[in-house]
Structure 1
Amino acid sequence: MSHPTDFGTARETRLLHAFVDLADTLVDDYDVVDVLHQLVENCVDLLDAAAAGLLLSDQRGGLLPVASTSEQTRRLELFQLEADEGPCLDCFRTGEPVVVADLAAATDRWPRFAAHAAAEGFRSVHAVPLRLRGSTIGALNLFGTQAGPMDDQDLRVARALADTATIGILQERAIRRGEVLTEQLQTALNNRITIEQAKGVLAHAGDIDMNQAFQRLRSYGRATSTRLSEIAHRLVTGELPPKVILDHR
């Protein structure tokens, strides 16, 4: 039988690995889309969150969904944008965290979003900005299936993870020049379209859902040390047959 301290130690180890992985983005070449997907997955694994999603700003100041832990969460993020209301938008616009312990009490604030999120089974939401030195480039949404505030320590961890990811995206020299978004960030936003198309191709070919398709893409990319965006492009253009990824183990 495991001791409670064993669980705490295991969690601390996973948390350390999460920060090490994010820190690697500061000194190494990396795939922004994959890093951000790893970020939302780490939040669900390490924190008291049932699902997570991340919206990132483009060069025109609009928000786009870039990472989520499920297709359901991605659709909910898209709904926020379509309804022009929700915690992620408020968080991005103010640059401050948004904490909603009970979505049932937020119907006046976000009538459409609160109802839609509740219909999806979520009861609470916490949004954390991706912000560095006054520049906010996106927001991280953490959804809970139970009403109640997130533990303060978990919320601090979420902010630290978001801050570290932001530093990896916004390079110091770009900040000093007043450039809010680097070329790498814009490339990631452009690549998301190709990745979504590749997920659809793979889902159709393998008769699997979109979540499974994305995991197959990521698994194949890591096994072959190939960028996610490159695999997606090859798959969409027909250079890489879906069967190669579907049969890969």
Structure 2
Amino acid sequence: MPIAERFSAALAAVSAPALAAPELLPVRLSRACARVLAVDGAGLSMSDASGRRVPLGASSAAASTAEQMQFTAGEGPCVASQRTGQPVFAAEEDLRRRWPMFATLFLGGTPYRGVVALPLRSPPSGGGALDLYVTRGDAVAELDVFDAVAVGELISSALAEAAMWSTWSPAEGPDWLHGPAPRQRAAVWEAVGKIGVALDIGSAEALALLRVDAYAAGRSVDEVAADLLAGRRPLEELRADRPPGP
């Protein structure tokens, strides 16, 4: 059966009523991708016009956690793939060697032992990437790359088609930019703005402070940002963590 037909069948199989909302299209696509490529997890992300990483959806909670760990570390296969526009294949030893901070979080906090990251043809709102996760490191070499690239093209087409047949403003973006994962990440940028104003620093330094705090606590930036906005994490503690100026 051609890969397009297999993907269509997998998408139909995972399209439960609970996932029918248009903003959950990336979740459905991720689950279909994991099913048809026989990997243990899959996730979709993109960079917005400002270069900020936005998760769109994932096949499972573990795959979502893997993306959050990559964002927390600020490094990893998907980041590299989006930057270079090239596929990245990384088993456990590659992860430890190339991205040690990410590897520590990823290998300690998920069941996965390998990642394949593929750039996606740019969706309407920015460059995208597809992360594939496997629980056996040797499964990275077993992946059918041609099928994976073809599925990436099918995913890009599905996102573009959904955007084409819906009404949205450039400021808001398509429906699939408003699912649970993008909304959670939006809280990070709100926290970054709050930190920047309070400490009189730029957004890059504010995000770096969040990352340092999250990494030290073994948590994700998304979790720390949510705590800060809810008042569970005092801003003064982040201020204390900031190194003194010259």
TM-score, normalization by structure 1: 0.56
2:3, 2:178 → 1: CA distance?
A: 35
- Cα deviation for residue 128 of structure 1 reads 1.4
Question: Structure 2 CA distance, aligned partners of 1:161 and 1:86?
Answer: 24
Q: CA deviation at 1:160?
A: 2.4
In the superposition, relative to structure 1, how do residues 16 and 191 fare at CA in structure 2: closer, same or farther (>3 Å)? closer
Deviation (angstroms), 1:191: 4.7
| In structure 1, distance between residues paired with 2:11 and 2:171 | 24
**1:195-240 deviations in whole A, cap 9, x for unaligned?**
76xxxxxxxxxxxxxxxxxxxxxxxxxxxxxxxxxxxxxxxxxxxx
Query: After TM superposition, what 4+ stretches of structure 1 lie above 3 angstroms from structure 2?
Result: 9-14, 16-21, 181-184, 186-196
Structure 1: tracts of 5 or more residues without a match: 1-8, 22-29, 172-180, 197-249
2:38 alignment counterpart: 48
Supply the RMSD in Å over aligned alpha carbons: 3.5
C-alpha distance in 2, partners of 1:165/1:147?
30
- State which of 94, 98, 102 in structure 2 corresponds to 1:109: 98
Partner of 1:127: 117
| Corresponding residue to 1:159 among 152, 175, 183 | 152
The answer on whether the counterparts of 1:59 and 1:186 sit within 8 Å (CA) in structure 2 is no
Secondary structure (helix, strand or coil) at the match of 1:141 reads strand
SS at match of 2:133: strand
The AA in structure 1 aligned to 2:154 is L
Alpha-carbon contact 1:40-1:52 (below 8 Å) kept:
yes
Q: 2:174 & 2:70 partners in 1: Cα distance?
A: 21
1:118 to 107, 120, 123: 107
Are the structure 2 counterparts of residues 193 and 14 from structure 1 closer, same or farther at C-alpha, using a change threshold of 3 Å?
closer
Change in CA separation of 1:115 and 1:93 when aligned onto 2, cut-off 3 Å: same
1:47-83 per-residue CA deviation (whole Å, 9 max, x = no partner) reads: 0310011112233220122201122221221111111
Deviations 1:151-188 (A, max 9, x none): 233323333223323533665xxxxxxxxx94563654
Q: TM-score, normalised by structure 2?
A: 0.57
Which of 173, 197, 215 pairs up with 1:185?
Answer: 173
Q: Whole-Å Cα distance in 1 between the matches of residues 40 and 11 of structure 2? A: 20
Query: Aligned residue for 1:235?
Result: none
Provide closer, same or farther for how the CA distance between residues 193 and 35 of structure 1 changes in structure 2, counting only shifts above 3 A. closer
Corresponding residue number in structure 2 for 1:87: 77
- 1:228-243 correspondence runs (5 A): none
Post-superposition Cα deviations, 1:1-42, rounded to whole Å, max 9, x if no partner, equal xxxxxxxx5987542445899xxxxxxxx9653221111001
Which amino acid in 1 is paired with 2:137? A
Aligned partners of 1:39 and 1:161 also within 8 Å: no
Identity %: 28
Question: Distance between the aligned counterparts of 2:183 and 2:48, measured in 1?
Answer: 17
For 2:128, what is the secondary structure of its paired residue?
A: strand
Partner amino acid, structure 2, of 1:33: E
Count of matched residue pairs: 171
Equivalent residue letter for 1:109: R
* Partner in structure 1 of residue 199 of structure 2: none
Q: Separation in 1 of the partners of 2:22 and 2:120?
A: 14
- Equivalent AA in structure 1 for residue 146 of structure 2: Q
Matched residue of 2:102: which SS? helix
Structure 1 residue 61 and structure 2 residue 54: aligned? no
Q: Is the 8 A contact 1:123 1:144 kept in 2?
A: yes
